[in-house]
Structures are given as C-alpha cells and as structure tokens.
Chains A and B, each alone.
Chain A
Amino acid sequence: MSNQLVSQEFIPHEVAHHFDDAHQEFESAKIGMWAFLAQEVLFFSGLFVAYIVFRYLYPDMFVEANHHLSWQLGTINTVILIMSSFTMVMSVRSAQLSQKKATFNYLVATLVFAGCFMVIKGIEYSSKIQHGLLPAKWFSAEGVSETLHLFYGIYFMLTGVHGLHVLVGMGLIIWLMIRTKRGEFYADYYTPLEMVGLYWHLVDLIWIFLFPLLYLVG
C-alpha cells in the first residue's frame, strides 16, 4: 500500500467496527447502492407508464406537443450529461490512482456540466411558461389537440423529477469535493466517490431514455 502518499496528503480510512475488513465494507456499500438504484428505476417507472399510456391513447397529440420542444436543446443536454458521466468516472479512476488533484478537478467538471444542464432546462422551462404550455391548471396555449395539457403535465413531471435528481446529485458532488480536498479518498478508500458515481450514471441513464421519448417524437 502507498504509505508515503497516505502519510503526506491523505487521511487513512478506518473500517467501521461491524465489518471484518475494508473489502467487506466496500462490497456491502456496492450492494446497498445497487439495491437503491433498482428502487430509483421503479420510481421513474410510474412516470414512464403514464407517458406510454397517454402516448398510446393520443399519438397525434404527442406529435403536436413535440413541435414545441427544441430537439436541439435536448440533444445538447444529452451530450452534456454524457460528458458529465465521463468526467465522473474519471474522477473515481483518479482516486483509485491516488491522484488528489485530478479527482477534484474531474468532480468540478462534472458539477459544471450538471449546472449547464440545469441552466438549459431553465431556459426550456421559461420558454414553456412564456407560451403557456403548462399543466392544465395554468395551460393557456393554442392547439389542435384537445388533450395537449396532458403532455405538458407529463413532461414537467418527468423532467422535474429528473431535474430534482440532478440537483441532489450536484449537492452530493459538492460534498465529495469537500472530502476530496481534505484528502479522504485514495487508492484504498474511495467508496463514497464510487457510490455517488453510480447514482450519477443512473441520472444520465434516465435521461438517455427521456431524450428520444420527449424530444424525438414523430
């Protein structure tokens, strides 16, 4: 084990008392996180079911609603999230190599990308608000389809819940940045980094499906 590195810039990790060793601790965390991710998939599944049901029932309305969405912005956001996934996994890799600065910098990049994603989302949302393309309570736009408000209800629920997950992810990344600066992550211990990484990749995964479903209809 890299003892010089550990004594210079890193805080050695103490394994929790109820675990036999660091390996059991890490593997347990991974299993726990994958179980949690399974739960997240099912959380979004309700929204996907709502989408599928109403797309099945009102296919033309979905095509019409799609005209008001910018596929260009959607594509940019997809690329941004893919880049953020890349920088996230590079951050974990840097910790595995005990490269403190690189770990931190990749986290910053991930945070920046996440921020850009939210900014673009904000631009899209304000455009919808301006045009009155909102859930039924506030809907005030014109349309051929009578049920147009249903799409926007589902759109805001889907992107809103996803956006909330992005915000939570950003908070977690900031937490990781603080801990990285303190020297808590190195070759023998980077569990929180890996776990938040898994969470972050799931957020990217959800968007990978949302993108064609919302932006590339018809």
Chain B
Amino acid sequence: MSNAYPNINFFKVDSGLKSWLFTLDHKRIGLMYLLFICISFGLGGTFALLLRLELLTPGTLFFTAKEYNQLFTLHGAVMVFLFIVPSIPASLGNFLLPIQLGTKDVAFPRLNLASLYVYMFGAVFCVYSLFAGAIDTGWTFYTPYSTTTDTSVISMTLGAFILGFSSILTGVNFIATIHKMRAPGMTWFRMPLFVWSLYATSIIQVLATPVLGITLLLLIFEKVMNIGIFDPALGGDPVLFQHFFWFYSHPAVYIMILPAMGVMSELVTTFCRKNIFGYRFVAFSSIAIAVISFLVWGHHLFISGQSNYATMLFSLLTFLVAIPSAIKVFNWLATMYKGSIYLKSPFFYFLSFMFLFMIGGFTGVVLGTLSLDIHLHDTYFVVAHFHYVMMGGTVMAFLGGLHYWWPKMIGKMYSEFWANISCLLVFVGFNMVFFTQFILGAKGMPRRYYNYLDQFQPLHAFSTFGTWVLGLGFIVMLVYLVWSLFKGEEADANPWGGITLEWQTASPPPFENFEKLPVIEYDPYDYDKVKPYE
C-alpha cells in the first residue's frame, strides 16, 4: 500500500461511498467531518433564527413558552456539542496536521475513523432527542430542573456523552502525532503555530472532556436511580452539578478558541508576508491558556450561592486567563506592522476576528469582575459576550481557515468577489445581532426569557433583523463554495504565497501528502530565508 499512489491527488486514489466510509486517510476524514460540522451549524443556526423570530415582539408570537425554551436549548446544545467543539480540530486540524508536520498521516488512522463514527453515533442520539420530547433545560442541563423535567434529557445527554469520546479520541491522536511524527529537522520550535494550538487544544480535550462524561452520567443516574447528590430534597447539592458541569465547559471554550487562534497565526504570517512576531510567546501562550483554563470555572457560578472565598478566588484567576490571549493579539498586530499586506478574503476574516474577539475578550474581563457580574449575570450581556468570542472569534477564524485552505483541500478556487460580499454581510449582520445585545443586557434584559418589557422591543427587533443579514451571508457562502466544487477554477499549489509545508505540495495533496517527505531546515514563517513555493 505504501508507495502505490505517490503522485495522484487523494481524491482520485479511490472512489465510491465505501472508499470514503472506510477510509483511513486523514484528509478524507477531515472533509467528512467538515460536512457534518457545516450541517450542524445549519441546524443550530436554524434554531437561532427561529428563537430570534419569536423575540420580535413581547408575548407570544409563533411559539409557546415551552417551545421557546426548547429552541434556545437546542440552539446551544447543537452549536456547542455538534458544531463548535469539533469545528476546527476535527475538520481543518485533521486535514492539515500531518501535512504541516511533514508526515503521511496521523499516528492512529483507525482511531481517527473511529472518532468520526463515534461523532456520527452521538449525533444520532442528539437528533433523536429532538423528536422524543425535545429538551428544554438550557444547554447547561442545570439541576434540579434537568432531573425533574419530562423532556428528553437522557437521550440528549447520552448523545453529548458519546460526542465527548469523539473529542477525546481526536485529542489522543493529535498528541501522539505531534510528539512522534514530525518531519526530520522539525523541532518543537519549528512547528507551525497552528500545530501548537492543536496541541494545547488536545491537552484540554483529554483532561476536561472526561469530567463532562462523568457529569452527564451522574445526571442520567440521578434521574434513573435518584442517587441524590444533586437533589436538595435528598440531602444533595444542586450547585455541585454546576461545579461538575463547568469544570469541563469552561476549558471547553478554550477548546473552541485555541485552534481559531492557531488559524489566526497562519493567516497573519501568510497575508503579511512576514515572520510571526514573538513565536515563542505565541506558542507558550497557547499552553498557558490551556493550563489556566482549568482554574477559572467558578466564574459561571458567581451568583449561584457559592461561598465568598470561592468567588473571590475564581474572579482573580479569571483576570489571569485574559493575559495570554492578549499576548497573542499584540503579537498578531506586531506581525502586521511593516508587513506587506495582501488583502484577500481569508485576511478579511482575520481582521474581523481581531476586532470582534477583542470586544468579546474585554467583555469577558468585565464579566469576571465580581461586582459587575452581580448585575450582568444571566442577562443578554453574557449572551453577547460569548457570541463575540465564539462567533466573532472562533467562527470567523474557522471561516478564514476554510477559505485559506479551501484551494489546498479541494483543488479549486472560490469566487473572491462573492466571498467578500458574504464576509461583509456576516460581519455587519453579526454586529447588528450581538452588539445590540450588550446594550439590552446592560439595561437589564434577562437571557433565556420568552417574554420581555415593551421598552426592549426596538432593540430586540433590530437584533432579529441582524439574524436575517447574517443568515443571508451564510447562504451566499454556501452557494459560492458549493459552486466552486464543480465549476471553480483549478487552484495552484500555492495561491496565497504561504511557506508552511502544506503550500509545498500539490493542491489537492497526493495520497501520502508529499511526493518526497520534506526535511526541515528553517523556521516555519521565515520569509527571509524561504521563498514561497510556486
């Protein structure tokens, strides 16, 4: 098998459904993940559109109160578990990690395929739960409501439990790959920063996700056997559930943002034709974020009844976690300074991230401030904050990476004109939806509320109009990307002039990634010593 197909691009090696479903090729697995992730985004986005539709006016419009609760729960659960946690690592990460390391595949290709199957299996449970009495607890499944409600908590949490294993297996695979399968000459400090970010992400995936697993299992057993540890009527503590849940879910948000930050480092170096400013700072800050992320979960519990000592400890540590993120932003900015900027669609996503993630990050520090959080907790301010970091951050970077690596993965170019239109629509739509929500939250509008005071209506309506602009942006994107699959111009090996290893092989890459496995002699972004491969 090994040298049977050295020079043919990986799409042509074999065809038919079976060759995809039983593939061991990380590139095909990455693309299949990409498909499911996009479908999940569409599903989660549909729930968002619907719930915002309900919020056009106070009182009942299209949905009952219970249905509204189900909508925001499903929006959250689908977006978090099916879309954003796997988004960059499973799709772009799977495709690019071995290529950026200069090797033939990940360490455990069969485990890779298994993680895809596990993802699909978990997704089936989640989709089933939609039809079996859709859950209405919020994606956070807080007790005691989740233990007493009659909606499909068990099937949804089982689905999330299974999805967690997909995440863990990806993390295990990436860790082994990065440790052991780097090309000759690629020391740790010659790895691309995207790889560093995937490594840090994998650490979190491996250490945090099992706690979600046991938490959901405990929740299921609480419902089935009345264990009682979360039930005050049996001597238990419902806030304990929150500790358990957020011990995973806070590091999880760094699973979401770290790979996005990795993509950012790739975009800024290529589109500014310049070496990254402060490589080691950016690399170590990824690890620092991974470590500190485990120390701050209690900031989700500030007003839960947690002890005062715990709140003070967590607030202090939350300020700490902002520092490595800020270091990265400064380094990207410094990389742009005196760079030779090549303004193309992926870079527009980079710029969107810079602006939107900063707002998200700053408002995170605002929320981490105890005295402010007392007023802002569970308001739209929180909703706006996390959408700025998750969507303004991760999704923008995901889109930037998708566009950047699209010609590499597919071998075709998309329409630059329509890509810019879509980026503009997404950027404008996003701010319409979510900047408004900062204002709503600061004025006191609670989150997850079906009904609201009349004075909030103009802001709510404006936010809902924004979702239509945002939705239009994504529809345009879907159209031109799918169009490019069939009618797009053939792409060069290196359409953007990057110098990391993936640009030194064909678009799409051959089955074993390189015609000849590379030997590394330079730093990954050394534009002084390396000229872009033609």
| Residues of A that sit less than 8 Å from B by CB | 16-19, 24, 27-29, 31-32, 35-36, 38-40, 42-47, 49-50, 53-54, 58, 135-138, 146-147, 149-150, 153-154, 156-157, 161
Contact = CB atoms under 8 A, between A and B. Distances in A.
Nearest to B205: A39
B476 interface: no
Nearest to A45: B211
A18 B3 CA distance: 11
A153 B175 contact: no
A31 to B, nearest CB: 5
A194 B1 CA distance: 27
Contact of B215 (A24, A27, A36, A46): A46
B515 to A, nearest CB: 16
B280 to A, nearest CB: 23
Nearest to B216: A46
Contacts of A32: 107-108, 111, 172-173, 175-176
Contacts of B243: 49
B225 interface: yes
Contact of A17 (B104, B177, B209, B226): B104
B58 interface: no
B209 A39 contact: yes
Given A31-B179, A32-B108, 18 more contacts: A24-B181, A31-B176, A35-B171, A35-B175, A38-B207, A39-B207, A39-B209, A46-B210, A46-B215, A47-B214, A49-B243, A137-B226, A147-B234, A149-B234, A153-B221, A153-B225, A153-B228, A153-B229
Contacts of A38: 206-207
Contacts of B240: 50, 53
B227 interface: yes
A215 B103 CA distance: 51
A138 B211 CA distance: 27
A154 B176 contact: no
A19 B206 CA distance: 24
Nearest to A40: B210
B2 interface: yes
Most chain B CB inside 10 Å of its own CB: which residue of A39, A44, A135, A154: A39
The list of the 4 closest CB pairs from A to B, nearest first, reads A153-B227, A46-B214, A43-B210, A147-B235
A154 B181 CA distance: 42
A43 B211 CA distance: 5
Given A31-B180, A32-B172, A39-B207, A150 B236 contact: yes
Q: Is the interface of B mostly helix, strand, loop or mixed?
A: helix
A135 to B, nearest CB: 4
Contacts of B234: 136, 147, 149-150
A64 to B, nearest CB: 14
Q: Is the interface of A mostly helix, strand, loop or mixed?
A: helix
Most chain A CB inside 10 Å of its own CB: which residue of B107, B175, B217, B221: B107
A28 B182 CA distance: 12
Interface string B226-246: 111100001111001001100
B228 A150 contact: yes
A6 B1 CA distance: 24
Contacts of A53: 229, 237, 240
Contacts of B176: 28-29, 31-32, 35
Contact of B1 (A17, A47, A50): A17
Nearest to B111: A32
B218 interface: yes
Nearest to B169: A36
B168 interface: yes
B477 interface: no
Contacts of A47: 214, 218
Interface string B478-506: 00000000000000000000000000000
Nearest to A26: B180
B180 A27 contact: yes
B74 interface: no
B105 interface: yes
Nearest to B243: A49
A50 B218 contact: yes
Contacts of B259: none
A137 B234 CA distance: 10
A137 B208 CA distance: 30
A142 B405 CA distance: 66
B213 interface: yes
Interface string B53-97: 000000000000000000000000000000000000000000000
B103 A36 contact: no
B181 A28 contact: yes
B400 to A, nearest CB: 29
B221 A157 contact: yes
30 contacts: A16-B109, A17-B104, A18-B105, A18-B181, A18-B512, A28-B177, A28-B179, A28-B181, A31-B107, A31-B179, A31-B180, A32-B175, A36-B168, A38-B206, A43-B210, A45-B210, A47-B214, A54-B229, A135-B221, A135-B228, A136-B226, A136-B227, A136-B228, A137-B225, A147-B235, A150-B235, A150-B236, A153-B225, A154-B229, A161-B217
Contacts of B215: 46
A209 B243 CA distance: 23
Nearest to A32: B176
Contacts of A50: 218, 229, 240
Nearest to B173: A32
Contacts of B207: 38-39, 42
Interface string B382-400: 0000000000000000000
Most chain A CB inside 10 Å of its own CB: which residue of B109, B176, B512: B176
A146 B235 contact: yes
Interface in B180-205: 180-181, 202
A58 B175 contact: no
Nearest to B180: A28
A29 B206 CA distance: 16
Contacts of A157: 218, 221, 227
A17 B218 CA distance: 42
